Structures are given as structure tokens and as C-alpha cells.
Chain A
């Protein structure tokens, strides 16, 4: 096992900070290459006139998922040492819903708003300003919402843990679902033409 490099000691805390802008550079580069720095293009996803968001997001998700799974299988990466965000069922469901409405109205998400702003799009700057305001509002209200915020905690749990199936089964299901989605997207685009 040779990775994650920060866990095996190959990369120290200074090194970890130094690679952050490099990893970010790649992230921003590919978001822009895919056209995700443009609000009307992203919003097209919600009216099914432009399926770029779905295509980019799920091909990225499947690539990283399959890569991590197979690197773990051949012993190069210990997936147990990769940080899995903790699950809080109800707050995350409510947060997801509020976020979804904001994404639709704002037309950009937090990462893509930075790409939009960096490429001159002033609406990207407005989204960033709104995000900062929203977080400040949340922080101000925190005393009153802390109990709800911490509720329904399940820890760092995966779908396959919950379903009681192997990780490989979960990876296969998500891959099949994504491929079905890609085929449906191609079909919808053919019908439109």
C-alpha cells in the first residue's frame, strides 16, 4: 500500500498545502473546458435543453469511483484511509433541497462560480457574494439550529454499508446507472434534433 501519500508519511503537512493549488488548477481547468463556467449552460440542465452538467458530473464521479476502487483492489491505495464525509440524513436532505433551489436561481454552484468569476463573468461574482452572505447568516443563526444540524447522524457511512452489500456491488450499480443515464441523454438529444 503506497497511498494516500499524506497517510503513509510520503507527503508532510507543508507538501499537502503546496499541492492544493495544483489539484485546484486541474479542477478549474476541466470545469472550464467542459463549459461549466457559464450559468445559462448549467441552467439548461434543469430544462433539459443542455445536459452538460449531468454528463460532466457523472463521468467524473464514475472515473474517480472506478479508479479508487481498482487502486484499492490492486493494493496501491488504502480506501479505508480516504476521508469519507459524515452523513446527517435530515439536515443534508434539507440542505440539498435549499441548495438545489439556489443552484437553479443562481445558475452556478460554488466551484463553478469561481471559474465564472475568474473568466470575467460578473454574475459569478454575485453568486460568490451571495454564498459568503448565506454562510454568515447560517453562522449567526447557529445557536438556534445546532440541534437540528447535529441530528440523524450516521457517521462516515456508505450506501453499501447501509445496504449490506459489498463495495464492488455498489460500484457496479452506480456504473450501470450512469451508463444508462448517458444512453438516455444521447437518446434525448437525438429526439430533439
Chain B
């Protein structure tokens, strides 16, 4: 297993990709929107496209019915994210099937915490209209007011709660 790249080097590479997105497609990166698209398709599969399209929170993700997510830019981008991450880890010998956790929790506790954290991020990203990709990075680099509100509130709340969650990570 090889060492990670210098974080500043990885950051500049990531920034160049984000800049490339602005130049080529006229918008930035995202992640949570792709999840919302998949949830919309799942909802359409569960209750039928007509009923799902009548839901105001779901309808924007179903412009072309249940298969909309296959033509959603952010879903296709996120497939690329998984492939890029996989190839990078593969070439560096970092592919491992395992649960990564803090030293004082077991695998089951870690998986449960990851699920709960995911639920909170899902709800939070909906209210914020984006996550660390779509708001913090993309919006932040465009000096978007909402992007910077997200950066500030996200980090402040994580630091405030961190001492109470020490057992999870230290």
C-alpha cells in the first residue's frame, strides 16, 4: 500500500477538475443531487410514476419518467467518481474489503453510526440544496453566499458536536 499524495497536490488536481466542469459544462460538481435522483426513481418504482410525479419534492427528478436518473448529469458524474476512486486505489494497492472505524468501536457500531450519519446528511443536504461537493466546493469557489453559509454552519456544528462523539473516532 503506497502513501497518499500530498493533500495540496490532490487539492489542486481536484480544483482543476472543478474548473474544467465550469468551462466545459457551465456548472460545478455535485453528489447529493444524484442520490435524490435515485430516490426519485425508487419512489416511482414503488408507487408508480404518476403518483411519484405528483409529489412536489420528487417531480423535478422525473422529467422523463422513471428512467430520468439514467440521463441525470450528476448520476453519470457519480458513476465516474466511483470508477475514478476505484482505479486510483487499485493502482496504489489500496483496495480493501473492510469496515473502517475508530479504535474504540466495533464493526457493527461503526456501520450503525455510518447509517445514522448518512440519514442526517441526506436531510441536511436537501435543506441546503447540496453537500460538500455542490455547495461547499462548487458554490464556495464561485463565492456563492449559500455555499459559504453551508461551509460555515457545517464545520461549526461538526466541531461543536465532536467532543461528544469522541468515542466514535479516538
- Mark A residues whose CB is within 8 Å of B: 3-7, 11, 16-17, 19-40, 43-44, 46-47, 49, 51-52, 55-65, 67-68, 71, 76-77, 79, 81-89, 91-124, 126-139, 142-143, 146, 149, 154, 156-162, 167, 170-171, 174, 182
Contact = CB atoms under 8 A, between A and B. Distances in A.
B169 A107 contact: yes
A114 B15 contact: no
Residue picked from B4, B94, B124, most chain A C-beta under 10 Å? B124
Given A67-B15, A67-B19, A101 B161 contact: yes
B19 A132 contact: no
Contacts of B169: 40, 43-44, 46-47, 107
A113 B42 CA distance: 20
A101 B158 contact: yes
Interface residues of B, number: 121
A157 B143 CA distance: 9
Contacts of A127: 114-115, 117-118, 121
A56 B118 contact: no
A142 B32 contact: no
Given A92-B149, A110-B35, A134 B120 contact: yes
B77 A23 contact: yes
22 contacts: A3-B22, A3-B24, A6-B24, A26-B14, A26-B20, A27-B77, A29-B85, A30-B88, A44-B169, A49-B170, A56-B14, A64-B22, A67-B19, A82-B22, A86-B129, A91-B129, A96-B153, A105-B120, A130-B120, A139-B39, A139-B55, A157-B145
Interface of B is mostly: helix
A63 B83 contact: no
Interface string B113-136: 111111111111111111111111
A59 B18 CA distance: 12
Contact of A133 (B28, B92, B119, B134): B119
A114 to B, nearest CB: 5
A43 B114 CA distance: 12
B8 to A, nearest CB: 5
Interface in B30-83: 31-32, 35-36, 38-39, 42-43, 55-58, 71, 73-74, 76-83
B17 to A, nearest CB: 4
Interface of A is mostly: helix
A102 B84 contact: no
B20 to A, nearest CB: 6
A40 B136 CA distance: 21
A60 B11 contact: yes
Contact of B39 (A4, A62, A136): A136
A171 B122 CA distance: 31
B8 A85 contact: no
Contact of A20 (B77, B111, B139, B140): B77
A30 B151 CA distance: 20
Contact of A91 (B11, B88, B116, B128): B128
